[in-house]
């Protein structure tokens, strides 16, 4: 984007409150096109997960510039479970209600909520164990302390490929090129589709001409062949989608994740 805009672009990390700190900081910034937000699916999760934090209605204070990428999660399990595919995994868990545990990279993370949706659609009962990131969760799954989890593709690929875990399904409707033999969850549970997305936003009120210029620069960056190739190595398909696409995804995720959070009684404190 810096190359296209003719000026430097500085990345400033604002960690805290499940991305809420960064989201609110940009929402309060001057709408001049100089302060932008790279945010994720968490933007559509936080209003239900952390209702006291700003922004409570994200798309009233932030305007989407464009989608940058979408990626899915690999559902894999401990290799010692006597299962061969997703159907046999579901049958195995159903025979042991509440006895097995699933992990996640944290309460309210997309892989946590995605697994809660999976459990609901599959009609199974497992105990959720949150971790501080995907790596410690994977370590415990390898050790047999948890049975299964949804992992980012780049984290799941090595253990699945070398047989340390068993790949059961992919969360998106399509397969991932990194693990092409792993079928979509939707093949067993029709309609299941969980994605992690990242998009760029500007403060609401940013002039249309500025938004248009930013969108052109973002598209040029996302279409860069070398950058696309680097992302593909991690199972992530880099590709620009316009602001309308971001709004559609947001409108789909907001009620879906809100319903799961309320039904399962999920809070940011765990």
Residue with more model confidence, 143 or 270: 143
Domains annotated for the chain, with CATH where assigned, are 2-69+196-264 (3.40.190.150), 73-187 (3.40.190.10)
> What's the mean per-residue pLDDT of the chain?
95
Whether residue 16 is predicted with pLDDT greater than 90 in this model: the reply is no
| Three-state secondary structure readout of 32-98 | CCCCCEEEECHHHHHHHHCCCCCCCCHHHHEEEEEEEEEECEEEEEECCCCCCCHHHHHHHHHCCCC
pLDDT at 53: 86
Residue 249: CB atoms within 10 A of its CB come to 19
What mean pLDDT is predicted for residues 244-251? 96
Average pLDDT over residues 224-239: 89
pLDDT at 235: 79
Q: Which of 244, 219, 270 is nearest to 69 (CA)?
A: 219
Per-residue pLDDT tens for 181-220?
A: 999 999 999 999 999 999 999 999 999 999 999 999 999 9
Using alpha carbons, select from 269, 200, 253 the residue that is nearest to residue 49.
269
Per-residue pLDDT at 135:
94
Residue 270, pLDDT score: 57
- Average pLDDT of 126-141? 96
Confidence of residue 115 (pLDDT cuts 50, 70, 90): very high
pLDDT of residue 252: 95
Burial 189-226 (b: 16+ CB within 10 A, else e): beebbbbbbbbbbbbeebeeeebeebbbbbbebbeeee
Residue 18 confidence (pLDDT): 74
Non-local CB neighbours of 31 within 8 Å, separated by 6+ positions: 202, 203, 204, 205, 206, 207
pLDDT at 5: 95
pLDDT of residue 198: 96
pLDDT given for residue 263 in this prediction: 96
Residue range 266-270: average pLDDT?
Answer: 79
110: confidence class by pLDDT, cuts 50, 70, 90 = very high
pLDDT exceeds cutoff 60 at 156:
yes
Query: How much is the average pLDDT of 9-24?
Result: 89
φ/ψ of 99, rounded to 5, equals: -90, -20
């Amino acid at each position: 984007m810096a190359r296209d805009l003719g000026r430097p672009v500085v990345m400033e990390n604002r960690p805290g409150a499940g991305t809420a700190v960064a989201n609110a900081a940009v929402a309060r910034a001057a709408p001049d096109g100089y302060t932008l937000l790279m945010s994720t699916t968490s933007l559509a999760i936080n209003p239900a997960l952390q209702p006291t934090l700003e922004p409570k209605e994200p798309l009233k204070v932030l305007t989407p510039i464009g989608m940058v990428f979408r990626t899915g999660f690999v559902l894999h399990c401990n290799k010692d479970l006597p299962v061969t595919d997703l159907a046999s995994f579901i049958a195995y868990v159903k025979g042991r209600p509440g006895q097995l545990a699933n992990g996640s990279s944290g309460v309210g993370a997309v892989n946590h909520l995605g697994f809660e949706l999976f459990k609901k659609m599959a009609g199974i009962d497992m105990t959720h164990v949150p971790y501080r990131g995907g790596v410690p969760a994977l370590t415990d799954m390898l050790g047999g302390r948890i049975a299964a989890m949804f992992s980012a593709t780049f984290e799941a690929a090595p253990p699945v490929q070398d047989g340390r875990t068993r790949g059961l399904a992919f969360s998106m409707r399509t397969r991932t090129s990194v693990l092409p033999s792993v079928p979509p969850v939707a093949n067993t549970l029709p309609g299941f589709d969980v994605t992690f997305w990242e998009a760029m936003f500007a403060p609401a009120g940013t002039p249309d001409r500025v938004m248009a210029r930013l969108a052109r620069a973002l598209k040029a960056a996302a279409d860069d062949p070398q950058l696309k190739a680097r992302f593909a190595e991690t199972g992530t398909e880099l590709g620009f989608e316009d602001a309308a696409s971001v709004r559609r995804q947001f409108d789909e995720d907001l009620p879906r994740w809100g319903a799961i959070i309320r039904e399962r009684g999920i809070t940011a404190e765990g």
